[in-house]
Structure 1
């Protein structure tokens, strides 16, 4: 268990890295510590150590692996969240099956990233979480969606809603939001372009890839995404994707 104390610069995001593999911890600490706005204040090799250091150091963000000795990353996340330390827990793991994704978010994780993500995505995820956003890998988002033809179940995520974060496109989901999708009797009218954007959202594509697919600028995609959110009454990308799956062929 290692920790670093000192005066905090309000402009610096403090991070605790929890992973049982020394090489991963060292690599993450090096990646995050090389940026001017992020400081790694502690490293933990188990769930118990992560909880203890989170209580002691109160970092802005905890990067939490799921598979660790002792208590699991999910249980450690639950305890950190229950302590009300104000630390935002972002899961960083190689696992993205639906059960683990839901368990981590239900335990209080504000984000879910995968270890094969590029370094910039991890950095953007840390920054987004510290700012109150919800960094969620598109593959983790897809794990929350029902199978085609199946009914979308109500999804509850605490303490934030869910959204996809891509480099240069930070999520801005309000804290303490519950994302819930229920079937609706009426389907709002949408333009052809909005239907195309919604369909690609349902596939888990970020704005940049949607723009490439449709041959339009990323800022134009953002405008269409906002219009789609307003039309179907949702406020984040995962909720929009769930809505699209629940209304497949009807919009």
Structure 2
């Protein structure tokens, strides 16, 4: 039977173990709380009341917390001394020239802050000037909630975000400048016959292209080297007059027999 001294030692040992468990649990709780707080991004908006209200509604319920509701215009430089803000959203539609002076001032006050310009539309010249001034992202006011929130998240991760339509316009200008032949229209691509017959192996590869499979998956499914798949894909694009895998998949959807579907 356990004597009183042994019982006392056992109780002390159990209490110490319980205390350690509680201490670990408390530390874990503190770590979770600290991590959650570190994910919060405080947002300053320099825009009209209408645009500000719209952005606040979009960011409601996200980790982006709008602060300083009094800051509604770009004419309040005295409010720029608050270095705690991590993200500044600027109205680039009403006064685009003013933000070119404001962006460097914001960066000087808080070098780690991110700056996003929000506007109805952008041209490459305005984007170049704002980017040179220190802007990190450019978002359209017409963007959906998901697109805008995801764009802000990318900017906070260090990415430079610009509207896709601006990038496409730049690509089209580049194509015109180097006199590239135009890509075939969907109608022309759909109605186009192969320039030369496709081999049975190429038809198999094309079937997987139609399914959106990458080269590595095609190689595994057809038991061939990935380099061989690339050769087949290149030959397929040449024969059907497609410029990329997406166009090849469209062509296959209209020309590849249903019985050639992937098993």
TM-score normalised to structure 1 length: 0.52
Match of 2:68 in 1: 42
Aligned to 1:184: none
State yes or no: 1:138 paired with 2:164.
yes
Q: Does 1:92 align with 2:118?
A: yes
Q: Are 2:93 and 2:120, in contact at CA under 8 Å, matched by a contact in 1?
A: no
Which residue does the alignment assign to 2:53? Answer: 26
User: How much does 1:52 deviate?
Assistant: 4.4
For residue 84 of structure 1, report the CA deviation from its aligned partner: 4.2
Distance 1:192 1:75 in 2: 50
1:13 matched residue in structure 2: 41
Compute the displacement of 1:144 (Å).
4.6
Aligned length: 157
Residue 123 (str. 1) matches residue 178 (str. 2)? no
Which of 118, 133, 138 is the matching residue for 1:112?
Answer: 138
Q: TM-score, normalised by structure 2?
A: 0.49
Q: Which sections of structure 1, spanning at least 5 residues, go unmatched?
A: 1-6, 152-188, 201-209, 217-251
Give the superposed CA RMSD.
3.6
Unaligned runs of 5+ in 2: 1-33, 179-229, 251-263
Change (3 A) 1:214 1:87: farther
Between the two structures, name the one with larger relative contact order (CA 8 Å, sep ≥ 6).
Answer: 1
Structure 1 residue matching 2:116: 3-state secondary structure? strand
The answer (yes or no) to whether the contact 1:113–1:140 under 8 Å persists in 2 is no
**C-alpha distance in 2, partners of 1:143/1:107?**
23
Q: Is the 8 A contact 1:18 1:63 kept in 2?
A: yes
- The answer as to whether partners of 1:101 and 1:143 remain within 8 angstroms in 2 is no
When residues 112 and 62 of structure 1 are mapped into structure 2, their CA distance, relative to the original with a 3 A threshold, is: same
In 2, distance between residues paired with 1:15 and 1:214?
45
User: Which structure carries more helix by proportion?
Assistant: 2
